[in-house]
Amino acid sequence: MKPLPSIAKIAEQNVKINALQDKIIVLNAALGSKRGKKLFLAKSM
């Protein structure tokens, strides 16, 4: 799980480079202790 879209994209590319698409799914999401949605802000990389 990668909450930042830019990092999720890199992780997806890494999965493809290593031919692991059938074993790994990258989720552009985050986990928390409570149910619901929150605004997630981060500085650009």
Q: Please, which residues have CB within 8 angstroms of residue 29's CB and are 6 or more apart in sequence?
A: 1, 2, 3
Q: What is the predicted pLDDT for the residue at 24?
A: 96
Angle (CA) 39-8-29 rounded to 5° is 40
Provide the pLDDT for residue 45: 56
Q: What are the two backbone dihedrals, phi and then psi, of residue 4, each rounded to the nearest 5 degrees? A: -90, 125
Place of tokens 């909450």: 3
Express each pLDDT in 1-45 by its tens digit.
Answer: 888 888 899 999 999 999 999 999 999 988 888 888 888 777 765
What pLDDT does 40 receive?
76
Q: Fill in the amino acid letter for 18.
A: N
Q: What pLDDT does residue 4 have?
A: 84
What is residue 44's predicted lDDT score, i.e. its pLDDT? 65
The predicted structure's pLDDT at residue 43: 74
